[in-house]
Amino acid sequence: MTRDIAIDGPSGSGKSTVGMSVAQRLCMPFVDSGLLYRVFTAAYLAEYPDDRQIDHERLTKILKGVIVRSKEGSFLYEGGEVPLPLHDPRVDELVSPVSAVPDVRRAVNRELRRIAAVQDVVMVGRDIGTAVLPQAFLKIFIDAAPEVRARRRTIQLSHHGMLADYNAVLANLLTRDALDSTREDSPLLCDSTYIRLDNSCDGSEAIVNRIIEEYRRRIAHAV
Ligand code: DC
């Protein structure tokens, strides 16, 4: 029986911070699925820096490149780091349209399932519990108020050395929320198989503890 933990939620909800902490405490590998969409998007922009919209023929060419996971856990495209930072605002702008393309989702999901086939993982994203690992042992949906998410993202960008305007970040988050929740192929949604947690308050320790408690409770009852 696999004991994967799927954590889904919108951008900036803090799911990666929570997921990483849960993984660390349970000694499980952590997989951030959004990074794979970002790798394809950054590889696309490295090849076609002037594109402001996705050209499907060009994207198909980029999809033929192979993504692998390094020993350190980062993702490499065609054996090397992509030259554009994965959280660059230009990647933010194009990543939702890229991730709405079914061929992209198929390529990413293949890689994610390959990773989860050999070990139990804590995997975060938008559709992990609905499409990638629908049989996950525990499914968590993490949400937070848009203003809180935009503030976190602005701080995160400045930590990465990128100047970010709060209003522009908020607008980008809201646009991506709309695209990610309304696309046809595996949209972001929280169904009744999830436990929904609100992460609007600062400090996610309580949420991490809640997830670990629930995970242990289920293991105790599963035996
Ligand atoms: O989590 P993130 O912001 O790094 O994700 C970047 C984009 O990738 C996001 O706008 C939607 C997409 N994504 C997705 O469609 N499905 C996933 N499982 C993870 C991310």
CA distance 101 to 96: 9
Residue of 177, 162, 195 whose CA lies nearest to 90: 162
143 neighbors 197 (Cβ within 8 angstroms) = yes
User: To the nearest whole percent, how much of the chain has pLDDT over 70?
Assistant: 99
pLDDT tens track for 104-127: 999 999 999 999 999 999 999 999
Which ligand 1 atom is the nearest neighbour of the CA of 180?
A: 11
Among 131-135, 144-148, 181-185, the minimum mean pLDDT is found in 181-185
141 neighbors 126 (Cβ within 8 angstroms) = no
108 neighbors 33 (Cβ within 8 angstroms) = yes
CA distance 152 to 170: 10
101 pLDDT above the threshold of 90: yes
CA distance 74 to 15: 18
Q: Which residue range forms the structural domain that includes residue 104?
A: 5-221
Residue of 97, 26, 17 whose CA lies nearest to 58: 97
pLDDT tens track for 198-217: 999 867 899 999 999 999 99
- The pLDDT of residue 223 is 59
User: Residue 195: which pLDDT band, with cuts at 50, 70 and 90?
Assistant: very high
Q: If you ran DSSP here, which 8-state letter would residue 66 be given?
A: P
E strand spans, the chain: 5-8, 30-32, 67-69, 75-77, 122-125, 138-143, 195-198
Regarding the beta carbon of 109 and ligand 1, being less than 6 Å apart is answered no
Which ligand 1 atom is the nearest neighbour of the CA of 37?
A: 8
How many domains in the chain?
1
CA distance 207 to 142: 9
Supply the CATH number for residue 38's domain.
3.40.50.300
CA distance 61 to 43: 11
Mutate to test the pocket of ligand 1, among 7, 17, 33 (most ligand atoms within 8 A of CB): 33
**Strand partners of residue 8:** 125, 141
Among 45-54, 55-64, 84-93, the minimum mean pLDDT is found in 84-93
For the chain, give the mean pLDDT: 92
Mutate to test the pocket of ligand 1, among 95, 103, 199 (most ligand atoms within 8 A of CB): 95
Site of tokens 């194009």 = 94
- The pLDDT of residue 48 is 95
CA distance 37 to 22: 23
73 pLDDT above the threshold of 80: no
Regarding the beta carbon of 152 and ligand 1, being less than 6 Å apart is answered no
User: Residue 47: which pLDDT band, with cuts at 50, 70 and 90?
Assistant: very high
- The pLDDT of residue 67 is 85
Mutate to test the pocket of ligand 1, among 11, 99, 149, 190 (most ligand atoms within 8 A of CB): 99
pLDDT tens track for 151-186: 998 988 888 787 889 999 999 999 989 988 998 888
